[in-house]
C-alpha cells in the first residue's frame, strides 16, 4: 500500500519531531561547550573554543579518561569472553534447568541500577573489599556480561551445529574447530557485543557512582560538577564523551561492512 500525501507529510513531521526530541538537548550541550560565558543563555554572545583546549590540557580530565577507558576496556574483554562461552553453553548443550538459568542470568539487566549498585557496595563492604575502579569493573560486569551473552546467543542459535561436527569429522580438534569455524561464524555477534559492552560501561553512571570509591569515571565527574562547581568545562567534557561513543559506534558499524566489501572484491 502506498501512503497518501497526508500520511506521508504526517510521518515526516512526526519523524523530525522525534529526532529533535532526541538530539536537541545534546545540541544545546554542544552550544554550552563553545560559549564564552560561564552560563548558557541564548543568544550566545561570544563563542570560544578555549574550553576544549583546557579539557585537553587538564590533568583531572586525563585521569578521568584513563579510569573510564580502563574500566570500559577490561569490562569489554571480560564480557565478550564470558558472553562467548555462555552463548555456546546455552545454544549448544541441553542441560537441566537451562531455561531457568538463562532467565536468572538475564534478570540483573532489568534491576534498577541504583539498587544493584547499592547492593554491590554493601556486599563489598561486608567482605572487606575497598571500592575502587576494580570493584566498578565487577559491578559493570554484573549488568553488562548478561547483555553480551544475549547478543552473542542470538548469533549462536542461528548457526547449524552440523558445521562444527563437520569440522571435527574432517580432523579438527576442539581448539581448531573453535578457531576455524565457531569464532569466525560468531564474529558479527562478538563485535556487536564488544561494542555494546564498551559503550554501556563508558556511559554508565549509577553503578559507577556506588562502586568506584575514591576513583571517578567521566560520567561521575560530570554529575559531581553539575551539582557543584559548574563551568563550561562540564559540557565540553560531556560533548567529548559523547563524541567518543559516537565515533566508536560509527567505526564499529562501518568496519565490518568495509571488510565485507574488500572480501567480496578479492574473492571475485
Using CB under 8 A as the binding rule, whether residue 268 contacts another protein is answered as: yes
Using CB under 8 A as the binding rule, whether residue 181 contacts another protein is answered as: yes
Return the residue of 170, 229, 257, 265 that touches another protein, per CB under 8 A.
170
Using CB under 8 A as the binding rule, whether residue 95 contacts another protein is answered as: no
Using CB under 8 A as the binding rule, whether residue 265 contacts another protein is answered as: no
Return the residue of 29, 44, 109, 172 that touches another protein, per CB under 8 A.
172
The nearest distance, CB 176 to another protein, in angstroms, is 7
| Three-class DSSP labels, the chain | CCCCHHHHHHHHHHHHHHHHHHHHHHHHHHHHHCECCCCCCCCCCCECCHHHHHHHHCHHHHHHHHHHHHHHHHHHHHHHHHHHHHHHHHHHCCCCCHHHHHHHHHHHHHCCHHHHHHHHHHHHHHCCCCCCHHHHHHHHHHHHHHHHHHHHHHHHHCCCHHHHHHHHHCCCCHHHHHHHHHHHHHHHHHHHHHHHHHHHHHHCCHHHHHHCCCCCCHHHHHHHHHHCCCCCHHHHHHHHHHHHHHHHHHHHHHHHHHHHHHHHHHHC
Using CB under 8 A as the binding rule, whether residue 185 contacts another protein is answered as: yes
Residues 6+ apart with CB under 8 A from 221: 60, 64, 237
Return the residue of 112, 128, 171, 229 that touches another protein, per CB under 8 A.
171
Residue whose C-alpha is closest to residue 165's, from 177, 153, 176, 152 = 177
Using CB under 8 A as the binding rule, whether residue 173 contacts another protein is answered as: yes
- How far apart, in whole angstroms, are the C-alpha atoms of residue 123 and residue 8? 55
The nearest distance, CB 260 to another protein, in angstroms, is 11
- Residue 20 vs 166, nearer CB to another protein: 166
The nearest distance, CB 92 to another protein, in angstroms, is 14
Using CB under 8 A as the binding rule, whether residue 165 contacts another protein is answered as: yes
Return the residue of 160, 214, 229, 257 that touches another protein, per CB under 8 A.
160
Return the residue of 104, 168, 253, 258 that touches another protein, per CB under 8 A.
168
- Residue 5 vs 162, nearer CB to another protein: 162
Return the residue of 38, 169, 214, 257 that touches another protein, per CB under 8 A.
169
The nearest distance, CB 198 to another protein, in angstroms, is 25
**Which is it for the CA torsion 140, 143, 145, 147, positive or negative?**
negative
Size of the site for another protein (CB under 8 A): 20
Task: Build a one-symbol-per-residue string for 118-157: x at contacts with another protein by CB under 8 A, - elsewhere.
Answer: ----------------------------------------
What residue ranges bind another protein (CB under 8 A)? Answer: 160, 162-163, 165-173, 176, 180-181, 184-185, 264, 267-268
Amino acid at each position: 500500500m502506498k501512503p497518501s500525501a497526508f500520511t506521508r507529510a504526517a510521518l515526516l513531521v512526526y519523524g523530525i519531531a522525534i529526532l529533535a526530541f532526541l538530539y536537541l538537548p545534546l545540541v544545546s550541550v554542544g552550544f554550552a561547550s563553545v560559549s564564552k560565558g560561564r552560563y548558557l543563555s541564548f543568544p550566545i554572545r561570544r563563542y570560544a573554543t578555549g574550553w576544549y583546549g583546557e579539557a585537553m590540557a587538564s590533568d583531572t580530565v586525563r585521569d578521568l579518561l584513563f579510569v573510564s577507558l580502563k574500566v570500559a576496556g577490561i569490562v569489554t574483554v571480560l564480557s565478550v569472553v564470558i558472553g562467548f562461552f555462555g552463548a555456546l553453553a546455552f545454544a549448544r548443550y541441553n542441560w537441566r534447568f537451562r531455561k531457568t538459568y538463562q532467565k536468572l542470568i538475564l534478570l540483573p539487566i532489568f534491576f534498577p541500577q541504583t539498587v544493584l549498585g547499592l547492593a554491590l557496595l554493601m556486599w563489598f563492604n561486608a567482605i572487606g573489599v575497598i571500592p575502587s575502579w576494580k570493584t566498578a569493573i565487577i559491578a559493570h560486569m554484573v549488568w553488562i556480561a548478561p547483555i553480551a551473552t544475549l547478543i552473542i546467543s542470538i548469533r549462536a542459535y542461528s548457526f547449524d551445529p552440523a558445521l562444527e561436527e563437520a569440522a571435527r569429522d574432517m580432523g579438527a580438534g576442539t581448539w581448531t574447530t573453535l578457531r576455524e569455524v565457531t569464532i569466525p561464524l560468531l564474529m558479527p555477534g562478538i563485535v556487536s557485543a564488544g561494542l555494546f559492552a564498551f559503550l554501556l560501561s563508558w556511559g554508565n553512571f549509577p553503578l559507577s557512582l556506588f562502586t568506584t570509591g575514591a576513583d571517578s569515571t567521566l560520567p561521575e565527574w560530570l554529575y559531581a560538577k553539575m551539582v557543584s562547581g559548574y563551568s563550561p568545562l562540564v559540557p565540553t567534557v560531556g560533548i567529548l564523551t559523547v563524541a567518543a561513543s559516537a565515533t566508536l559506534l560509527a567505526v564499529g558499524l562501518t568496519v565490518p561492512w568495509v571488510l565485507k566489501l574488500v572480501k567480496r572484491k578479492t574473492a571475485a
